[in-house]
Amino acid sequence: MLQIKNLSKTYPNGCKALKNITFEVKRGEFLVVIGLSGSGKSTLLRCINRIHDPTEGTVIFDGQDITGLKGKHIRLIRSQIGMVFQHFNLVPRKSVLVNVLCGKLANTSILRSIIGLFQSKDKIKALKNIDIVGLTGKERVRADNLSGGQKQRVSIARALMQDPKLLLADEPVASLDPATSHSVMKYLEKINKELGVTVICNLHFLSLVRQFASRVIALKDGELVFEGAPNEIDEDWFRRIYGEDAVEVSVR
């Protein structure tokens, strides 16, 4: 469903974030991207939904080359790809409900969204998605007043509003404590298994990778250095991905 071919990204400051990356993602997969901070994981995800423009290479989503799309066309593609972020990126001063409804902005007219008049079928759907992430009763609470784990669940619900074919998760648990991390990962797994959404997720902790990933790719200095099943990452591979001196930290 997603093909990345020879993807390279060089930032205007000359930093080469991605070098000639090629891989493929099949429908229903839970693909985890690992690698050191600064290895290009976030850039890779942002090139997929074109928040960043790749310098070279192609991104093929659902059989369509989306690399050169502009304006309305790329917005249509983005509306089919959900995204959750390390720092949640919720809209401050707005309620949980409005934050979740933001996932439907692409299908709401500009005028309606400015006066905050979302369609009632969207509201019903938002309530359902809030229920899926276990936040029923918090609809009217302001998003800034939630805890980290709850915020991340709101952002998952927001992504679900898009009925995404693909969900990009950029280090979704990196600012959460171990217990909350696990629960957020469980929700991502649920979305993957029960709703059949393909997930691409950046992660740091190998214990979580082994538990949740169906396939793993590893980046090092912007290059793809590993592709395979999670249990294939042994001591040897670990050192190759994270450097000679790395020692694995266990969450538990």
Partner 1 sequence: MNNKLIKAYILDCFLWSYSIIVLHMILFDRIIQGLSESNFSWHTVVIEVLVGIVVASILFFIKDFSVGRLSTGVIKPDYENSWWQKAYVYLSIFYVTITLITGFLISQVSMREFFSQQGLKGAYRIFMALAHPNFRIFEVTMFAAIETIYMALIATVIAIPAAFILSFFAARNLTRAHWFFQAIYVFLRICMNLTRSIEPLVWAIILSVWVGIGPFSGMLALMVNSVASLIKLYSEQIETIDQGPVEAMVATGAHPIQVIWYGVVPQIIMPFLSYTIYRWDTNVRMATIIGLVGGGGVGTLLMQYQMLAKWNEVGLIVVVIAFIVWAMDYASAKIREALK
User: Which chain residues interact with partner 1 by CB under 8 A?
Assistant: 49, 51, 75-83, 85, 87-94, 102-106, 108, 110, 113-114, 155, 158, 162, 168
Distance of CA 69 to the CA centre of its chain: 21
In DSSP notation, the chain reads: -EEEEEEEEE-TTS-EEEEEEEEEE-TT-EEEEE--TTSSHHHHHHHHTTSS--SEEEEEETTEE-TT--HHHHHHHHTTEEEE-TT--PPTTSBHHHHHHGGGGGGS-HHHHHTT---HHHHHHHHHHHHHTT-TT-TTSBGGGS-HHHHHHHHHHHHHHT--SEEEESSTTTTS-HHHHHHHHHHHHHHHHHS--EEEEE---HHHHHHH-SEEEEEETTEEEEEE-GGG--HHHHHHHH-TT--PPP--
CA distance to 50, 78, 119, 203, per residue, from 216 (Å)? 22, 24, 39, 10
Name residue 132's amino acid.
Answer: I
